[in-house]
Structure 1
Amino acid sequence: MKYHIRYFGDPVLRKVARPVTHFDGELETLAKDMIETMFEANGVGLAAPQIGLSKRLFVALELAPRAAEEAAGQEGEAEAEALSPDEKRERWGVVAEHVMVNPEIIARSGTQYGVDGCLSVPGLFIEKMKRDRTVRVRYQDLQGAWHEREAEGHFAHVIQHELDHLDGVLFFDRLPEAERRAFMEAHRRELAELQRQAKAYLKELREKGAPV
């Protein structure tokens, strides 16, 4: 099952997600569907709030170093749409697909600057987003067992981006205030269109009696 990705302007993207407390087959299916949705949208990460679910869960791809450099700034690009998930895995240099439940960063070090974009804000990017170079993340797997692992470079960047989604934070919120205002003004029309689409989708859900 492929989910509809929520766009900027949808209130769910600004809420702090709730911890996951039930570890069952339904959660495993959700994670599988999120991975499918992520590949379909040509993303390297996807958080539950981005599909309208207030759950502290995200999926993310770990890429080989050279592939990670090439992938920077390409999230959501349409040119890969014709490829199958397996073709994308090979072309993108996917090393592993991760599911992190109730994640938290427990250690950080270093600084890196990289391109940052978002499936919920398609087409817009920050060329030099400041992120921690290395992070240590503690999280649960789909069976509820706790793990810790260290990530650096591109994968650390992805983890920080996706974890922000669980706290209602979008990538441009991380900019210094003056830069954030300039970004919002420069892309005022695009952001307004995304808000319009988000509002229209929520209206459609309400008319169907579906949860929003």
Structure 2
Amino acid sequence: MILPIYAYGQPVLKKIARPIDKDYPELQQLISDMWETMEEANGVGLAAPQIGKSIRLFIINSGPMYPEGEEGKGIKQVFINAEIIEEAGADCSYSEGCLSIPDITGDVDRPEEITITYQDEEFNEYTTTFTGMNARVIQHEYDHIEGILFTEMLSPLKKRLLKRKLTKIRNGDIEQKYRMKFVRV
């Protein structure tokens, strides 16, 4: 089932998400719905807070971020109860966007390598190092479960320039290509 994506301004997007365990109700259905929702919106990642659930769960499919013919370098994976334990390498800048903040992009600096502990959908535990685009997509989604939006990492000038657009998104005063849930103040 395709779920509405919570738009900029929704309080759940600013909360630190809580861990879950194997007994989380209907987890497999939730993960399936998240994949369907992300694909419908043409995203490469989706975190549970973006669908209104303040839990430590996100999914990524970074293949589309790679050049044609190199999509196999991407990963398609579920991350539960993730914790970044190390960052390494130089910060690299890349223009990011977000399904919760449609039609806005901005350059974000992120470390080129991360080591992360997480569980998969069967709650098997892993500690893995990711680099490049895979690391970037993971960090973006990880920020969502920490209550951080990419717009907070933009330059002060860029933030000022986006203020009016962000207000329109918060209020639902935009044309969207997929189901969204707005604050509408």
Q: Report whether the alignment pairs 1:68 with 2:62.
A: no
Deviations 1:100-135 (A, max 9, x none): 000011121112211111111111111x31101011
* 1:65-102: CA deviation from partner (whole Å, max 9, x where unpaired): xx5345xxxxxxxxxxxxxxxxxxx9993643100000
Instruction: Please tell me the residue identity of whatever aligns with 1:68.
Output: M
Overall identity of the aligned pairs, in %: 38
Structure 1 or 2: more strand by fraction: 2
Residue number in structure 2 paired with 1:5: 5
2:2 maps to a residue whose letter is K
Which residue pairs with 1:112 in the alignment? 92
Amino acid at match of 1:164: D
Match of 2:159 in 1: 184
Change (3 A) 1:3 1:129: same
Worse overlay, 91-100 or 115-124: 91-100
Q: 1:148 and 1:116 mapped to 2: Cα distance?
A: 25
* Cross-structure match for 2:119: 140
**SS of structure 2 residue aligned to 1:188:** helix
Instruction: Name whichever structure is richer in helix by fraction.
Output: 1
Q: Are 1:97 and 2:84 an aligned pair? A: no
Separation (CA, whole Å) in 1 of partners of 2:120 and 2:66: 28
Q: Deviations over 1:14-55 (max 9, x none)?
A: 111111123467111111110111111111000000000011
Q: For residues 142 and 151 of structure 1, what CA distance do their matches in structure 2 show?
A: 19
**Equivalent-residue separation in structure 2 for 1:4 and 1:154 (angstroms):** 26
TM-score normalised to structure 2 length: 0.86
- For the pair shown, which has the larger CA radius of gyration, 1 or 2? 1
Q: What CA RMSD, in Å, does the superposition of the two structures yield over aligned residues?
A: 2.1
Q: Quote the Cα distance in structure 2 between the aligned partners of 1:168 and 1:92.
A: 32
Which consecutive unaligned segments of at least 5 residues does structure 2 have? 173-181
CA distance in 1, matches of 2:136, 2:60: 11
